[in-house]
Structure 1
Amino acid sequence: MTRTRTHEASPETFQALVALDNRLKKSLGPVLYDLVKLRASQLNGCAYCVDMHATDLERRGTPSRKLHGVAAWQESPFFDETERVALAFTERLTGGIDAVDDELWDEAGRLLGEERRADLVVAVGTITTWNMTGITTHLQPEGSLVPA
């Protein structure tokens, strides 16, 4: 069964999400924002979004070792202090609305500042919304690598 995609069923809502996405990319920076979107999409199980954000990071010149390391970022040497706090924040917030403890909250504020930390909270919620949209409407990455 084919499901109507959000941009077709509700173009105004879709455009509002795109505008929010663009604002968050400007605030957090395209690479950090895509790392957040990639990790949340992995946790939420959205294959379409995982593929999209990994591809976006590749296009921005992110080394493949770093892309592969996102799934195990805590053990990986490829992430700086700011990326680590953003990924930790993403994991905690994706895992539960009240999962960000005071220590992580303070560390994110120290590294990102008040505005970018607030935008990080919204960013995790926004990618989760995109993930729900992709999964619910059965979006799949283009071009299967599995032989027919």
Structure 2
Amino acid sequence: MENRINIQKVAPAAYQAMFGLEKYLSTSKVDPILLELIKMRASQINGCAFCLNMHAADARKIGETEQRLYLLNAWRETTLYTEKEQAVLALTEEVTKISNHVSDETYQKAAALFEEDELAQIIMAIVTINAWNRIAITTKLTVG
């Protein structure tokens, strides 16, 4: 695999800004398991092996089950995810695939289930993992 730019080394201030978002999210009202599901689902859609590997391990550490991790890409086909998780997974998919826009239906469902400040934090979590995915994929961060 070819070597690409190491942004963390070349532009550490940019990485620190991204870590600032992570620090903010770690103190948010959003359930840590839900944050990991957001990170996993966006990373599945984006095909980011580096982030999938990291967040699967993080999710397991905080109690997420293997079964739910394995079925995440088919979450609509199972009853393993709560109504809130389903709303956030739908929002994650639409924000990640932003060229199709976020439907009013998806947004309204999430807005009905979460307080406004928590919904803002969820949107920021989705945006942040998509940024990380793009950094990891563009720079070819490798697993292992």
TM-score, normalisation: structure 2: 0.91
Query: 1:121 matched to which residue of 2?
Result: 123
Alignment partners' CA distance in 2, 1:76 and 1:5: 40
Structure 1 gaps of 5+ residues are 143-148
SS at match of 1:78: coil
Q: Which amino acid aligns with 1:73?
A: W
SS at match of 2:115: helix
Alignment partners' CA distance in 1, 2:42 and 2:7: 20
Query: 2:108 matched to which residue of 1?
Result: 106
- CA-based RMSD: 1.4
**Comparing 93-102 and 74-83, the one that deviates more:** 93-102
Alignment partners' CA distance in 1, 2:113 and 2:134: 29
Give the total of aligned pairs: 142
**Comparing 94-103 and 130-139, the one that deviates more:** 94-103
Query: 1:22 matched to which residue of 2?
Result: 23
Deviation of 1:97 after TM superposition, in Å, equals 5.0
Q: Which amino acid aligns with 1:91?
A: E
Residues 20-74 of structure 1 deviation map (CA, whole Å, 9 limit, x = unaligned): 1121233223211110010000000110001111111011111100111111111
Q: Which amino acid aligns with 2:95?
A: L
Structure 2 gaps of 5+ residues are none
Deviation of 1:9 after TM superposition, in Å, equals 1.4
Match 2:56 to one of 49, 54, 57: 54
Deviation of 1:99 after TM superposition, in Å, equals 2.2
Deviation of 1:98 after TM superposition, in Å, equals 5.8
Alignment partners' CA distance in 2, 1:47 and 1:89: 21
SS at match of 1:127: helix
Which portions of structure 1, spanning 4 or more consecutive aligned residues, are displaced by more than 6 angstroms? none
Deviation of 1:114 after TM superposition, in Å, equals 0.9
Query: 2:45 matched to which residue of 1?
Result: 43
Deviation of 1:92 after TM superposition, in Å, equals 1.0
Query: 2:72 matched to which residue of 1?
Result: 70
Alignment partners' CA distance in 2, 1:7 and 1:80: 37
Alignment partners' CA distance in 1, 2:135 and 2:70: 25
**Comparing 35-44 and 73-82, the one that deviates more:** 73-82
